[in-house]
Amino acid sequence: MIRGADPNSFSWSLVAQILFKSGKFGKVVRLIDKGIYNSEIYDLVVDFYSKTGDFEAAFHRLNEMNERKLDTSFCTYSSVLDGACKYGNRCVIEKIMRMMIEKQLLPRSQVSGNDLIIQKLCDLKRTHAAEMMFKKACSKNIRLQDDTHGSLLKAISQVGRIDEATNMYRMMLKRGIKVKESCYSAFLNILWLNLVDSASFTIMICELCRLKELRKAMKFHDEMLKMGLKPDKRTYKRMISGFK
């Protein structure tokens, strides 16, 4: 322990976050090695190892947290789960989920509580884990709340997973699911940055028509034509109905 350093102080957590965001992860690890640590600093380290697929190091730090009697929260374990889902590491997924069940961070029966868990994962931007839980619930014909669909659409849009967000949006349209406007806005924002083909333009125009933003829809239509792309009949019908 460095003399005079309080491992539980807010200031050290802030220092670690600044170092982490600046890409100086090695210095965050050195803080822990010098005896400056708390749950927040460890969470950063576990999250980094999980994001990079170094699960051996992630579990090593988790064990250290338990040995040092530090709080290990849903945030801590879910970062490992998210990384494992991202890399498709089935062994790690099963291991970390068992640990979360033992810690009562996940229910033993996965029939109930899915909405709360998925929404919580989305709030933390653990989109790979949230998507895994979502698909698992759907495969078991477990009905999920519309808000859960919206949370997932918003989260995967915010992290830039455009293909997954587009598939989610289309599925919601097919099922007639309606969510908060903030969820649609997050999707439109990422779609705006990826207007490269007829499909993406069509979704943007149809969504603007739904929002009664007809002038904006017409501008995107004109831009689409300038790029040599042609709207389909469904898009034209949607625009015509919007002006009625």
How far, in Å, CA of 61 to CA of 239, rounded? Answer: 55
How far, in Å, CA of 89 to CA of 186, rounded? Answer: 29
Residue 138 lies in a domain: yes
Tell me, yes or no, whether 20 and 95 share the same domain. Answer: yes
Tell me, yes or no, whether 102 and 20 share the same domain. Answer: yes
Residue 224 lies in a domain: yes
DSSP type of residue 231:
-
Tell me, yes or no, whether 65 and 117 share the same domain. Answer: no
* 20-39 per-residue burial string, b: 16 or more CB within 10 A, e: under 16: beeeebeebbebbeeebbbb
Residue 3 lies in a domain: no
Of 164, 191, 218, the position where a domain reaches its end is 191
Q: What is the pLDDT confidence band of residue 236, given thresholds at 50, 70 and 90? A: low
Residue 49 lies in a domain: yes
Domains held by the chain: number: 3
How crowded is residue 100: how many other Cβ atoms within 10 Å of its Cβ? 20
Residue 2 lies in a domain: no
Residue 178 lies in a domain: yes
Statement: residue 237 has pLDDT above 90: no
- Residue 73, domain extent: 9-106
Per-residue model confidence as pLDDT tens digits over 161-215: 999 999 999 899 889 898 998 998 898 888 877 776 778 888 888 888 877 788 8
Nearest to 210 by CA among 187, 239, 232: 239
Tell me, yes or no, whether 116 and 139 share the same domain. Answer: yes
